[in-house]
A and B are shown apart, each in its own frame.
Chain A
Amino acid sequence: MTDTALYPAESPSLASPMPDEPRVIARFGRIDVAEIIGSAISAAALTWLLFSAVAWNGAFGALLIWYATFIVMYRTVARAVHGRLVATDRVMTVVLTTCAALAFVPLVMIIIFVVSKGLKYLTASFFTDTLEAVGPQDSGGGAFHSIVGTLQQVGLAAAVAIPLAILTAVYLNEVKGRMSRGVRFVIDSMSGLPSIVAGLFVYSFWVVELGKGFSGFAGSMALIVLFIPTVTRASEEMLRIVPDSLREASLALGAPQWKTVLRVVLPNARSGLISAAILGTARAIGETAPMVLTVLGSSSLNWNVFEANQDDLPLFILKLIRSPNETQIARAWTGALVLVTLVLFLFTLARILGRDRRKATR
């Protein structure tokens, strides 16, 4: 079919043929940017005028008044240029973008703060030395014993709690057994349990009543109690979004239910389940209150997670940050930096492992 069949002969598109390449469809041009910048500058000028005339001061108040003025001005300008409908759209876009940016502020500030304070002591020896026989004023000394403790305690808790939590989720969403109501109730109430109570429970039952004493394992038990409800609930959500049509397809092929779960449901929920498990772990790494009552803390290395008190990173930070000594406080900040890095690493791992095989190959 030729173009003449589609367009009348005098059609302008025939005189200047359109280039056959992807067009850039601009939604937000230079003028639109200029409107925003102009409104921002004039709002700043007005705020300055107001503050010098009335002799107010205070940076926070100035910021608030500037923002309010800016929104009003921008709305007025946009309305005059584009009309009411577009103006409302633009103003809402600006407000929502501001909100999104504000949500980033605490995160960015925490990271900047922790990094700037923690870098001072971040040396190789921080990862190889302990605090054993290191005086408050001495240089050197590290958190090796705490890192070992954290990895052992959280690793042990995760190894027990994650399979248990996923199996519970399978029971709740796939088996739908007679007890699922009761189980769901217990899981829901457990997820509201304050972490200190989990610590108190292990402390009074295991450490004192049974006389087992403080140990990394006692801390792991407290973490397991906190771990299971979060991971179970997140996993259950992930299983719920696996479409029923896939379960039916599997069952209609003559598959028993356990194979349907193992080969169809779980693989389809894989990425979600990995995220649920790793996010639960990241949460558990930072737990402090129950560890005070179960692990106790220590200055020296203890490889045995089942025997005697251990240290971990939150306890390391807690102990040193309350010290009056500057060197100790600096060490605490380095400990915080390591902890944040560990959590960040786990989140990144969750994103990488959770990446969908389906999307990756498409």
Chain B
Amino acid sequence: MNLDVAATGSITVPAIDLRTTDDVFARETADARAAVTPRPGSTLIADSVSAWFGQRKVLEQVSLAMRPNEVTALIGPSGCGKSTFLRILNRMHELVPSAGLAGQVLLDGVDIYGSQMRVTETRLKIGMVFQKPNPFPTMTIEENVLSGLKLSGSKPTMDKRQLVESCLRRAGLWEEVKTRLDALGGALSGGQQQRLCIARALAVTPDVLLMDEPCSALDPMSTRIIEETMRELVQQVTIVIVTHNMQQAARVSDQCAFFLVEEMEQPGRVVEAGTTSQMFSAPGDPRTSDYIQGRFG
């Protein structure tokens, strides 16, 4: 797999070809692929979303459609509201006491901020993987994977052991931990912990998976495994990923949205959104091409 995309000139989107991987993970992803049956994902539509922290407006009029069975990447410099936007998508935003919100977010046509959906139900359907791996340190690996079922009170769709294996396989972690499922979650390395968090998020079969810079603390090997995992998962779930890594956005995403704060103290806006190949080969806005080619940000 071609990992080093040239950073100068126009960037081409490398085709992701999993068949060329020739190590232990290739077998795993092949196994996982057999277990994955494509299903129609969900559509997530943000409609005129604005956000505040206290008096400060951090996002303005963001409208974005995240389509089923596609990876949507949110890119842009630090502090432009990407993470805030991501947290709005599964109602984590409102955990900050001073947070405010305008607009609506539609999951398959239903407003997740409306009265038809409870907040716990929303978060069950729209899972999240955080920037910093956060497995539950008091639980074993197996308990961590199953924790979502226990915490949300939902019934497992299959036998528990099978579910653990299938989730860990899909997260690309099974081979490394299958002999020590009763070890504590904190005993794993950082990259393994992050994949455990992905397995945990998958166990509750979400329709949408939000990922907030999931690879920013990981080594290139773990990053690669997680990116391959994402390409597999997208056959079943809609994925939205925040990333600072342009090559990563080019590698994994189908759609791309570029966030930018144009002037200091201004709220973040979406400058341009479209298919990844379009955004990376022929961006419509000069600021997008500047950012993508590393001229600022």
Write the residues of chain A forming the contact surface with B, with a CB cutoff of 8 angstroms: 243, 245-246, 248-256, 259-260, 263-264, 267-268, 270, 357-358, 361-362
Contact = CB atoms under 8 A, between A and B. Distances in A.
15 contacts: A246-B136, A249-B134, A250-B147, A252-B127, A253-B127, A253-B147, A253-B201, A254-B154, A256-B120, A259-B153, A260-B151, A268-B138, A357-B184, A362-B184, A362-B186
Given A246-B136, A253-B151, A254-B204, 14 more contacts: A245-B134, A246-B134, A246-B137, A251-B95, A251-B123, A253-B147, A253-B152, A254-B154, A263-B150, A270-B138, A357-B184, A358-B186, A361-B184, A362-B186
Contacts of B148: 253-255
Contact of A250 (B90, B151, B154, B183): B151
Interface residues of B, number: 33
Interface of B: 90, 92, 95, 120-125, 127-128, 130, 132, 134-138, 147-148, 150-154, 183-184, 186-187, 197, 200-201, 204
B90 A252 contact: yes
B134 A248 contact: yes
A178 to B, nearest CB: 13
Given A248-B130, A357-B184, A362-B187, A253 B123 contact: yes
B183 A264 contact: no
Contacts, number: 83
Nearest to B124: A254
Contacts of B151: 250, 253-255, 259-260, 263-264
B128 A252 contact: yes
Given A248-B92, A254-B151, A358-B184, A268 B120 contact: no
Contacts of A251: 92, 95, 123
Given A260-B151, A357-B138, A254 B92 contact: no
The list of the 3 closest CB pairs from A to B, nearest first, reads A254-B124, A255-B151, A254-B152
A132 B130 CA distance: 68
A259 B123 CA distance: 14
Given A253-B204, A255-B152, A248 B95 contact: yes
A243 B130 CA distance: 14
B58 to A, nearest CB: 19
Contacts of A263: 147, 150-151
Nearest to B120: A254
Contact of A252 (B121, B123, B183): B123
A358 B152 CA distance: 24
A253 B134 contact: no
